Every structure is written in structure tokens, then in C-alpha cells.
Amino acid sequence: MKKRRSQKNNFFIKLIINQIILYSLIIIFNSPSFSKDKISVSEQTFSRIQNYYDGDFYSVENDNRVFNVTGIYFVMSDDGKFSVISYCKEEKVNCDLNLQEFKANYRCKKISQQNCRTLFNEKKIIIDHKTNNIKKISSKEELKDYFITYKDNNKSNFKKFISDLEIITYKEMNSNDSFN
């Protein structure tokens, strides 16, 4: 009787140890640093990501091309179709960044009607918000390592999928000029 109970206990101990090992391996190999998965985005969104990286993109709000700007945040919808670029005309240090990430996320949620996440903070890609896994992108070519694209069918109506926010500079904020 004692031997049978001992065998039963050993079986359960081995089972628990095997489960712990299995779960540990699943956690390790599904972590972002080991994951081979790429972020799925539309072709249009990937093009905007590249333009954001260069500081040269089409502004829906200004209805023209904006260039020589500093990209601060790039926010994207869960489906990878909608995006918002938050940018500063000058260096980051000269811009009022208060609530800018929140505003960009809010704008993205409004135009996409879905959850959005900050994908870039300047030239750093945020791979996983939970683990704070952030990588600095060294070159535009390196962007291809993080994304897989799918075809857009709505190219003619692209303006409804994008938006941008120009961040006000401290100089503009403290200006005494009247715009009336």
C-alpha cells in the first residue's frame, strides 16, 4: 500500500514538473524577442511608416506634403489600416509634448472605430507594450524586418484611413501675436 502511494506521488510530481517545463518553454518561445512574427500592416500604412521615418509625408490636415519634420508618435489601428502621425516642425526639445501620445491614440480610435496602439516613439519601434520591448531603428531598410504587408483595396479613398497632428512649439505657444 505504501509503495503504491509513493508511486502515485512520484507520478504527480513528474507530471507537475513536466507541465512547468512545458509552460516555461511556451512563454520563452512566444516572447517578442524570440518571435518570428511580423506586424501585419496595409501597404499604405507601411508606406506611411517609411515616410514617418524620413520626416516627409502627406498631411491630410494641411492637404499638402510636410517635410523636414520630426516624427514623434506613429499610432496604428489593430487591423493595420489606419494611422496617425504626430510630428513637430522643429526638434523634439522645442515642442510641447503634453498629451500628444494620448491625442494621437484618440484620433486613431476615432477614425478607425477600433483599438489603436503607439507603434513608434520617434525612431524607436514599440514591439510589446507589456514587456516594454522597444528597439531603435537604425535605417529605413531595417523597417522591413518588422512588418509584413497586405494589399489595400481602398487606395482611391486613402484620406479616410490616415490623419496627422502637428505639435505646437513652445515659441508658438508663448507668442504674443494675435491671429484675429
Tens of each residue's pLDDT in the chain, 180 residues: 555 556 666 776 776 776 666 555 555 444 333 335 889 999 999 999 999 999 999 999 999 999 999 999 999 999 999 999 999 988 888 888 889 999 999 999 999 999 999 999 999 999 887 887 889 999 999 999 999 999 877 666 778 899 999 998 888 878 765 554
Residue 33 is predicted with a pLDDT of: 33
- The end-to-end CA distance of the chain, in Å, is 95
Using alpha carbons, select from 149, 148, 88, 163 the residue that is nearest to residue 121.
88
pTM (predicted TM-score): 0.74
Using DSSP's 3-state secondary structure scheme, residue 127 falls into strand
CA distance 157 to 160: 6
Residue 80 is predicted with a pLDDT of: 94
Residue 42 has φ and ψ, to the nearest 5°, of -70, 160
Enter the C-alpha cell of residue 127: 514591439
CA distance 122 to 92: 9
Residue 152 is predicted with a pLDDT of: 78
Question: Would you list the domain boundaries of the chain?
Answer: 39-173
Residue 17 is predicted with a pLDDT of: 72
Contact predicate 60/81, CB 8 Å: no
